[in-house]
Every structure is written in structure tokens, then in C-alpha cells.
Amino acid sequence: MADARLAVPAAPTAATKAPPRTPRRRRSGRSAFLFLLPWILGFVFITAGPLIASLYLSFTNYNLLEPAVWTGLSNYRQLFTADPRFYTSLAVTGVYVAVSVPLQLAFALALAVFLDKGIRGLNFYRSVFYLPSLIGGSVGVGLLWYTVFGYDGGVNQVLRGLGFSDLPNWIGNPDTSLGTIVLLHVWTFGSPMVIFMAGLRQIPAELYEQAGLDGAGRFKQFRHVTVPLLTPIIFFNLVLQLIQAFQAFTPAYVISRGTGGPADSTMFYTLYLYIQGFTRFDMGYASAMGWILLLIIAIFTGLNFLFSKYWVFYND
């Protein structure tokens, strides 16, 4: 690519004598700029620029066709005082995050501990448990869920086979539809599990040996050796999974056919944002929603870090 340009001759004396610091540094600065050029353009036009623009748009009324009209806090006022659907979407996402993230992490930790002790076939099990993480967010799996949890889908066949009757249409029923999406998310516990497994490998074997000599059984070892030493990893997974869960979109869209139904029971926050911004083209309103989401995620992440000093144990 830039091979022709790199004929910048290096100081021939370099081998015997270090060149004066300043010119070399300046040259380094100039080439650093070239290396960073794509990133700088991306930062300005794809990340930071739009981030600031969306803050501006959130104070306007804008539909893409006519110029944005400044309306001050009106979008935010509308959201918080006159839009029950906004609260519904917050509640749906809140329930989703609050139920699926802890469950997912619990499964991940349990399986990681279970798989840790040099078990035969480790690679096989790890693959099986990890695979859903790669495909869980895809449209293909969303459609599978849509099929399996539909009225006569596979799940009801199994339950009927077990003797249950009077079974609901899991997706068509507002009481159970969100549950199917939570289940889909919990199913993808493989990626935090692999991170836990890597963390477990860092725990020195001597500690278990010592604990064993002190008479600690497996459960006590787990409680007093594994968990404390793993808290930094638990914290890391928690932060990561929370951020990701707040942004869930595809399964909700695919399973509810883009409606958030039935009765708004799967109206995820991002789905409502999408509906406002890209089907109603109320882009000022959707931008306000975007910033609220950003603040929510920032607050949760900040609280996480704040509380981490009470329970995360750093061994250094």
C-alpha cells in the first residue's frame, strides 16, 4: 500500500549514534498521523460527530425532509410525561436485563467451574456450550424461536408429550412472550463461560491444595478460594453483559415481527427507538431516546465501578 512512500531514509548514522531526539520525534508524529488517519476520520464522522449531532437533534423536531426546528426540552418532556409506551419499553428492557443477565452469568460460572477440573472431552463440551453465543443474535435463530414457541411449535409438542394440556401460544401471549426472549438470551451463556474458564485457570493450584489441607471441602473451596479470586472476572462479565443486554434488538424484532407485541410485551427500548426514528421518522424524538439510553448505560456502568470496591478483590 504505502510502500513507495516509506522510502523516508532513516538516519544512516543510526547504528553508531542515536539521531537527535526532536526531528525523529517529529517524524514519528507525522507518520503516526498517517497511521491514525482512518481512525481520526472515523472518530469525527462516524462516532463523535454523530454523538454530538444526536444531542442537538434531541432538542429539535426533525423528520429528515424539513430542516430541524429547535423545540428545547419538548421531546424529553413528551417522553417523561406523555408517553406511556416509553415507560413500557423501559420496563420491558429492565425486566429483560434484570432477569437474563444474572441467570446467564450464574449458568456461565457454574458450567465454567464444573468444566474446569481437567475433565475429559473438555473441548467438546466447551464448543457445545459456546455455540449458542455465536448464533443467538441471528435472524435465523430468531425465526427458530418464532417457530418453536408459536402455538403448535416444538415446545408445546414436548409439553403435550409430557402430559400437559391447555398450553398457551408462548409468543402470542403477553404474559409469556418476553420470557421466550429472556430464555434465548440465557441460552447464550457460553461467552461469559469461556471468560470465566480463562479466569479459573489463573487461580494457583496451591491455593486449592492449601485449602484442602485445611480441611475445606469442594463447596468451601468454591466459596472461599474460587469466588473471591474470580471477582474481577465476575465484575468484568457483569459490566460487559449489562451493556450488551441493554442494547438487545434483533430477537425482539424478529420474534414480534417488528411490532413489540403482543400488547407491547416485547417492546424493547431499542425497538421503540427504531420505530420512532425509522418508521415514523421522528428523528428528534428518537435521538432523545438514544441519549437517555446512553445515560442509563453510563449510570449503570458507573454504579458498577462504584460498588466494585466493596466486593471485587484484586490480588496485587
| 95-124: contacts with other proteins (CB under 8 A) | 111, 114-121, 123
Q: Would you give the DSSP letter of residue 281?
A: -
CB of 216 to other proteins, least distance (A): 7
Binding residues for other proteins restricted to 68-87, rule: CB under 8 A: none
CB of 144 to other proteins, least distance (A): 5
The one segment of 73-81, 85-93, 211-219, 304-312 that binds other proteins by CB under 8 A: 211-219
CA 236 to each of CA 57, 112, 196, 243, 305: distance values in angstroms, whole numbers, following the listed order: 33, 15, 10, 11, 10
Binding residues for other proteins restricted to 276-315, rule: CB under 8 A: 277-278, 283, 286-287, 290-291, 293-294, 297, 301
> Nearest CA to 287 among 245, 252, 278, 247?
278
Among 93, 180, 191, 308, binds other proteins (CB under 8 A): 191
CB 189 within 8 Å of CB 126: no
Mask for 142-181, x = binds other proteins (CB under 8 A): xxxxxxx---xxx--xx--x--------------------
Among 179, 187, 229, 267, binds other proteins (CB under 8 A): 187
Among 92, 101, 113, 141, binds other proteins (CB under 8 A): 141
Q: Which helix (H) or strand (E) holds 306?
A: helix 283-311
Using CB under 8 A as the binding criterion, the count of chain residues that bind other proteins stands at: 121
CB 97 within 8 Å of CB 243: no
Helix (H/G/I), strand (E/B), else coil: 27: helix
Question: What CA–CA distance (Å, rounded) separates 239 from 272?
Answer: 24
Give the nearer residue to other proteins in terms of CB position, either 48 or 263.
48
Give the nearer residue to other proteins in terms of CB position, either 178 or 273.
273
CB 249 within 8 Å of CB 268: yes
Give the nearer residue to other proteins in terms of CB position, either 109 or 111.
111
Among 93, 101, 126, 180, binds other proteins (CB under 8 A): 126
CA triple 64-65-70, angle to 5 deg: 65
Give the nearer residue to other proteins in terms of CB position, either 178 or 290.
290
**Going by C-beta distance under 8 Å and a sequence separation of 6 or more, which residues neighbour residue 231?**
311, 312, 313
Question: Taking CB under 8 A as the rule, does residue 47 contact other proteins?
Answer: yes
Q: Which helix (H) or strand (E) holds 242?
A: helix 227-246
The one segment of 83-91, 174-182, 189-197, 308-316 that binds other proteins by CB under 8 A: 189-197
Question: Taking CB under 8 A as the rule, does residue 41 contact other proteins?
Answer: yes
CA 216 to each of CA 111, 212, 219: distance values in angstroms, whole numbers, following the listed order: 21, 5, 8
